[in-house]
Structure 1
Amino acid sequence: MPSLNVIVASTRPGRVGRRIGDWFTAAAVRHAGFDEVRLVDLAEVGLPFHDEPHHPAERVYRHEHTRSWSATVDAADAFVLVMPEYNYGFSAPLKNAIDYLYHEWQHKPVGFVSYGMTSGGLRAVQMIKQVVTTLNMVPVNDAVTVFLRQALDEAGELRPNPGREQAAELMLDQLVRLAAALAPLRTTEVTA
């Protein structure tokens, strides 16, 4: 069975992204389609602004934080990005984390759990799709969209929502199927 990394993309103090990431990670474990489900919080990873002198496609990493990040991403067969929308776009820490690597992302499916106030993060998802497809990642069609005004209770916790649970199930089903379908591409060496 494939492995899944759930990446929390916001690093802002006071963020709601970790709570959403924890909820989705639990949903992915309940789904049982993945051998391993790992929550990866970019605030804990703590990558500095991209500081490698070599192009990521060369896979020559000078810094331990890059080697560690490479191993984390390389080990996953699929990804879910738990991402906010900032000013109609995705967060800078997410773009930075993606840009550190190249081969490690290739031929892997990616799903999106987006959140925001007015659009639920949908505009940010549309923007990040251009980035991930450039890396030969395959975005799944089903997604989870969280409209924070309706989703959070007075204490700032996520309210139960059967529609959100169903959306997570559909997305996870697609990720499992695509991870299996793309696996041969990840194990085949491409030579020029």
Structure 2
Amino acid sequence: MTKIGIVVGSTRPGRRGRIVAEWVAGVAASERPGIDFEIIDVADFGLPLLDEALPPASGVYGKAHTVRWAEAVAGCDGFVFVTPEYNRSMPGALKNALDFVYAEWNDKAAGFVGYGLQGATRAVEHLRLVLAELKVATVRSQVALSLHHDFTFSAPTEPGDLTPGPHQHSALTALLDDVVAWSRALAPIREGVAA
């Protein structure tokens, strides 16, 4: 069965990433039965700033948190990255998590659900560059959630409620179709590398 990890890229208190990831998982479960979608929250792994003695490309991991993270990434065929935009880029925690491992990312597909004032489009552009170096094929389809139009807030310090417009649902289903198709298409390459 194809497994797609929904990676929550922010670890910040009060973040909106978890509710966005739950929305993605809910739509995926109802629209794409037969595909295993799993939320992988970077905050659950307690990754410090990269603290491995050897480069990730060596595949030699000396820390328990790295091994745990490597297993989570390796267990997926593709990914949907859920990211906000911090200062025109991705969160530092997400970049750090990407840098921790290497081969576990290779020959997989990824799509993006961004959220922010401009839908995190600049963060997604940076993610595309980093993932290319990790040998991840990124799909063109993406979701750009606006804090002004796709969330409602009761207080500025609360994550708010996600209220995406109907066009966001169709954008998400297109993204999921692409990620699943590319993940399956890349399977022979992953299997060839493993053989």
- How big is the shift at 1:33? 5.3
- How big is the shift at 1:130? 0.6
2-structure distance, mates of 1:39, 1:100: 19
The runs of 4+ residues in structure 1 deviating greater than 6 Å are: none
**Do the aligned residues in 1 keep the contact of 2:4 with 2:180 (CA within 8 Å)?**
no
Match of residue 115 from structure 1: 115
Letter in 1 for 2:18: R
Structure with more strand by fraction: 2
Residue 140 in structure 1 maps to residue 144 in structure 2? no
**Do the aligned residues in 1 keep the contact of 2:84 with 2:90 (CA within 8 Å)?**
yes
Q: What does the per-residue CA deviation read over 1:1-44, in whole Å, with 9 as the maximum and x for residues that have no partner?
A: 31010010011111111111111111111122553111011112
| Deviation larger for 21-30 or 163-172 | 21-30
The 3-state SS of whatever aligns with 1:62 is coil
2-structure distance, mates of 1:21, 1:190: 30
2-structure distance, mates of 1:190, 1:81: 25
Match of residue 176 from structure 1: 180
Equivalent runs, 1:154-173 vs 2, <5 Å: 154-155=153-154, 156-173=160-177
Match of residue 6 from structure 1: 6
Match of residue 79 from structure 1: 79
**Do the aligned residues in 2 keep the contact of 1:33 with 1:172 (CA within 8 Å)?**
no
- If the length of structure 2 is used for normalisation, what is the TM-score? 0.93
| Deviation larger for 89-98 or 38-47 | 38-47
Match of residue 69 from structure 2: 69
Q: List runs of 5+ in structure 2 lacking aligned partners.
A: 155-159
**Do the aligned residues in 1 keep the contact of 2:113 with 2:142 (CA within 8 Å)?**
yes
2-structure distance, mates of 1:133, 1:34: 28
Identity of aligned residues (%): 37
1-structure distance, mates of 2:17, 2:193: 36
2-structure distance, mates of 1:171, 1:46: 29
**Do the aligned residues in 1 keep the contact of 2:145 with 2:164 (CA within 8 Å)?**
no
2-structure distance, mates of 1:189, 1:120: 36
- Structure 2 vs 1, CA of residues 29 and 143 (structure 1 numbering), >3 Å: closer, same or farther? same
2-structure distance, mates of 1:124, 1:171: 17
2-structure distance, mates of 1:149, 1:24: 19
The 3-state SS of whatever aligns with 2:27 is helix
Match of residue 106 from structure 1: 106
Aligned residue pairs, count: 190
1-structure distance, mates of 2:143, 2:74: 24
Letter in 2 for 1:148: L
